[in-house]
Structure 1
Amino acid sequence: MTQSVVVQVGQCGNQVGCRFWDLALREHAHVNKKGLYDEALSSFFRNAVLVDMEEGVVKEILQGPLREVFDSAQLLTDVSGSGNNWAVGHMTYGSAYREQIVDKLRKAAEHCDCLQCFFLIHSMGGGTGSGLGTSVLSLLEEEFPDVCRIVTSIYPSAEDDVITSPYNSILAMRELTEHADCVLPVENQSLVDIVNKIKIMSHSAKPGSVIKRDSTVISGQGGLSGPEKPFDAMNNIVANLLLNITSEPLCPLWKYPY
């Protein structure tokens, strides 16, 4: 039964979302040997909304192996970006694209048999992710007040090179406290530390090591995304978090090959 809508906003949100879809397809292929576009798979891909105020990441998704999965009606992009400024994303683009965003959210919701939750994926440090992401969150509360809003927020590390990221994060946090039902906070430096520890474990010769080098925890090998990119390992950690949350309706018997 179709019951959730995934909304990915900004560069980070769409990159993490892309890794999520890749892993979801790999999981689904493990139990669906015929490769059928069945109810379990359609419960996610028919109900996704991709938003970014730069074209780069979304265009890359449309030109990559996942291009056949998404419909152009699910996408909303601009060309200028938010300049790492929360106010531009929240106030300027939030107002300019309000009606288009609401329209796409409603169309995605109409595909659901029993809409139970929205999954919003965004970053806290960038302008579009923090600003427009939280604007979308408030729209979700306004348009679908009875539907649960689960937010995955990627927080910048202390060494973040975007000077406005603390400003963006603080303003975005206020919006999260007002409009989110559940927030899954993920911090960039922690992701780096986890990836490094996993790589050490995967190269360890000690008996009983349970993490393989091509594990879906950190690797995209065997997936749809092609060669590994710099942030793929970090994004895979977050994608696995989301996939574990949503694993029951997708394919409950599958266990990750950790």
Structure 2
Amino acid sequence: MTQSVVVQVGQCGNQVGCRFWDLALREHAHVNKKGLYDEALSSFFRNVDSRESDGGACAVGGRIQHLKARAVLVDMEEGVVNEILQGPLREVFDSTQLLTDVSGSGNNWAVGHMTYGSAYREQIVDKLRKAAEHCDCLQCFFLIHSMGGGTGSGLGTRVLSLLEEEFPEVCRIVASIYPSAEDDVVTSPYNSVLAMRELTEHADCVLPVENQSLVDIVNKIKQMSHGGKPGSAIKRDSAVISGQGGLSGPEKPFDAMNNIVANLLLNITSSARFDGSLNMDLNEIAMNLVPFPRLHYLVPSLTPLYTLSDVSVPTRRLDQMFSDAFSKDHQLIRADPKRSLYLACALMVRGNVQVSDLRRNIERLKPSLPFISWNQEGWKTGLCSVPPVGHSHSLLALANNTCVKPTFMELRERFTKLYRKKAHLHHYLHVEGMEQSFFSEAVSSLSSLIEEYDHLDATKGRLMPDAPRLSIAR
């Protein structure tokens, strides 16, 4: 059985991670009624016998002694991590998994990447190694961070490069939360573009999630729940609204948004955590969906995003779920894949769904989805038998599509507006190790990425003789 480690960096990364662990425990408790430590649990949790001084893991198949998340939590402020340690999830983590400071990164990528990255390098590597040593067969690192602040963008991408250095053979999947144009952090365009270069160079796959898309989804659900129509009330145990997510106190404004991202991670890891007739190995995501090494940004789309409280309303047809997965309302990034070019696509289905249902819907949808000429059959599918709690089935679509280009162009434009005025540059250049060339190199890397997507769009996906391409596994 393979295991994965979740690395949470910064305030946003730790809040999202917290929601993930809460929901993952609920799913396992829902399925594992006898409280046995089984292979499904071992994929993301260790079983520690508290009587053993060395904290050794119990044998698979034994009773659960004490579950510990396979995670490393890093933040340069103490607030969120302390909240987690005082909340319902406090027993799931121990001090060897945590790394905090008190002053924060001041919304400055350079402070996170250079100052804290250098000061805490050995401690971070030590915690990552310890987490890896507890795995029999380490398959993947999931990094969760945001792009707009200082710790998530700066230290988060420093951790990413350390993962590549220390564990070059282990897959690195990154969930990155992108700021909206109205972000209240004035330096977020700098932080995001500096982080983009690191993501392009060091990640195997990036799942970009836009704050604005999350806001739009949550607002739409609120409108539905207050619409007064029969059956439109949202069930309390829905995917979006699910208790405190391991944090104490009342629901916070970002809880529902963080929960959507946590559900993305639940779905992408479902095949690793539960059995299915067509399980998808996490390594296969990068292997099958990334034909060009740098073009590894996958547009995530989730359905359903909520549960209706009126159980008398007929369950939506399975076919509708597949259609929804390709509609803009269910994407976690504002983009239009149907007007752009698909390089590959993965469908990860949970619940009582047959392979024949999958194939039928792919055939039905294919004519409306413009695929690159040399990869018309570029579909990867996974079937997990266990649905999310409160749903009969769910679907996560991951599209490698050139439609991410406008998001990157908009980011570059916001960066350029600041950079032309040299606004706030001195805050970065005062940081030891930071040079102005970092800015020009980062925006050059982003422009190069945009050009690569442009090139594919312009050629309608015909493979040029000099284009470097990885072989696509079938």
Q: CA deviation at 1:219?
A: 3.2
**CA displacement at 1:25 relative to structure 2:** 1.2
Q: 1:82 to 1:215 in 2, by over 3 A?
A: same
- CA distance, structure 2, for counterparts of residue 73 and residue 203 of structure 1: 45
Whole-angstrom distance in 1 between the partners of 2:458 and 2:145: 17
Check conservation: 2:180, 2:211, Cα contact below 8 A. Answer: yes
Determine the structure 2 residue equivalent to 1:113. 136
TM-score between the two structures when normalised by the length of structure 2? 0.49
- Tell me how far 1:236 sits from its aligned partner: 0.4
Structure 1 stretches of 4+ moved >6 Å = 221-224, 244-252
Whose Rg is larger?
2
Instruction: State the secondary structure of the residue aligned to 1:149.
Output: strand
Shift of 1:141: 0.5
Q: CA deviation at 1:2?
A: 4.1
1:146-178 deviation digits (Å, cap 9, x = unpaired): 111000000111111111111000000010000
Structure 1 residues 221 and 56: alpha-carbon distance in aligned structure 2, compared to 1, 3 A threshold: closer
Shift in CA distance, 196/74, structure 1 to aligned 2, threshold 3 Å: same
Within 1, Cα distance between the matches of 2:241 and 2:196?
Answer: 28
Tell me if the contact between 2:144 and 2:174 (Cα under 8 Å) persists in the aligned partners.
yes
Could you say if the C-alpha distance between residues 46 and 54 of structure 1 is closer, same or farther in structure 2, counting changes exceeding 3 Å?
farther
Q: Give, in whole Å, the separation in 2 of the partners of 1:175 and 1:128.
A: 14
Greater Cα shift, 211-220 or 9-18: 211-220
Equivalent of 2:215, from 192, 213, 222?
192
Contact in 2 for aligned 1:31/1:251 (Cα 8 Å):
no
Classify 1:225/1:249 alpha carbon distance in 2 versus 1 (closer, same or farther; 3 Å).
Answer: farther
User: Is the partner of 1:35 in helix, strand or coil?
Assistant: coil
Shift of 1:37: 4.8
Q: Is the 8 A contact 2:12 2:145 kept in 1?
A: yes
| 1:206 to partner: Cα distance | 4.2
Maintained 8 Å contact 1:41/1:250:
no
**Equivalents in 2 of 1:249, 1:106: separation in Å?**
43
Q: Does the aligned pair in 2 maintain the 1:14–1:57 contact within 8 Å?
A: yes
Q: Which residue does 2:38 correspond to in 1?
A: 38
CA offset at residue 65 of structure 1? 0.6
Whole-Å separation in 2 of the counterparts to 1:41 and 1:250: 43
**1:11-49 deviation line (CA, Å, top 9, x unaligned):** 000000001111111111111224445443343244900
* 2:87 and 2:246 in contact (8 A); partners too: no
**Counterpart secondary structure, 2:44:** helix
- 1:89-122 Cα offsets, whole Å, 9 max, x none, are 0000001111110011011011111111100000
Are the aligned partners of 2:73 and 2:98 in contact in 1 as well (CA < 8 Å)?
Answer: yes
CA distance in 2, matches of 1:210, 1:249: 48
Q: CA RMSD in A?
A: 6.9
* Residue 91 of structure 1 pairs with residue 114 of structure 2: yes
Q: Please state how far the C-alpha of 1:129 moved relative to its aligned partner.
A: 0.2
Query: Is the contact between residue 5 and residue 44 of structure 1 (CA under 8 Å) also seen in structure 2?
Result: yes
Alignment counterpart, residue 224 of structure 1, candidates 244, 247, 268 = 247
State the match for 2:158 in structure 1.
135
2:261 corresponds to 1:234: no
Higher relative contact order (CA 8 A, sep 6+): 1
Give the number of the structure whose residues are more often helix, by fraction.
1
Q: Say which is worse superposed, 24-33 or 70-79, in terms of deviation.
A: 24-33
- Checking the alignment, whether the CA contact within 8 Å between 1:218 and 1:237 is kept in structure 2 is no
Matched, 1:251 2:251: no
State the TM-score, normalized to the length of structure 1.
0.88
Instruction: Tell me: CA distance 1:55–1:66, structure 2 relative to 1, closer, same or farther (3 Å).
Output: same
Q: What's the offset of the Cα at 1:82?
A: 0.5
Q: Structure 1 residues 145 and 121, CA, compared in 2 at 3 Å: closer, same or farther? A: same
Relative distance call for 1:107 and 1:9 in structure 2 (3 A) is same
Q: In structure 2, how many angstroms separate the alpha carbons of the residues matched to 1:78 and 1:107?
A: 20
Q: Tell me whether 108-117 or 178-187 shows the greater mean CA deviation.
A: 108-117
Number of equivalences: 252
Q: Evaluate the alpha carbon distance shift between residue 246 and residue 237 of structure 1 in structure 2; reply closer, same or farther with a 3 A threshold.
A: farther
Cα distance between partner residues in 2 of 1:63 and 1:10: 18
8 Å contact kept, 1:46–1:70: no
Sort the Cα spacing of 1:104 and 1:222 in 2 relative to 1 into closer, same or farther, 3 A: closer
1:111-152: CA deviation from partner (whole Å, max 9, x where unpaired): 111111100000000100000000000000011111110000
| Cα distance in structure 2, aligned partners of 1:249 and 1:45 | 45
CA–CA distance in structure 2, aligned partners of residues 43 and 221 of structure 1: 24
Cα 1:190–1:86 change in 2 (3 A) is same
Contact 2:83 2:248 in 1 (8 A): no
Q: For 2:31 and 2:122, locate their aligned partners in 1 and report how far apart those are by CA, in whole Å.
A: 39
Question: Which deviations, in whole Å up to 9, do the C-alpha atoms of 1:213-232 show, x marking residues without a partner?
Answer: 43123332697755312210
Given that 1:54 and 1:78 are in contact with CA atoms closer than 8 Å, whether structure 2 keeps it comes out as: yes
Structure 1 unaligned blocks of 5 or more: 253-258
Name the SS of the counterpart of 2:7 in structure 1: strand
Structure 1's 249 and 72: CA in aligned 2 closer, same or farther, altered over 3 A?
farther
Is residue 67 of structure 1 aligned with residue 90 of structure 2? yes
SS of residue in 2 equivalent to 1:224? coil
CA–CA separation in structure 2 for the residues paired with 1:105 and 1:203: 45
When residues 96 and 46 of structure 1 are mapped into structure 2, their CA distance, relative to the original with a 3 A threshold, is farther
Q: Secondary structure at the match of 2:189?
A: helix
Conserved? CA contact 1:54–1:81, under 8 Å: yes
CA distance 1:225–1:29, shift in 2 (3 Å): farther
Q: Deviation string for 1:213-255 (max 9, x for gaps)?
A: 4312333269775531221000000000000999999999xxx
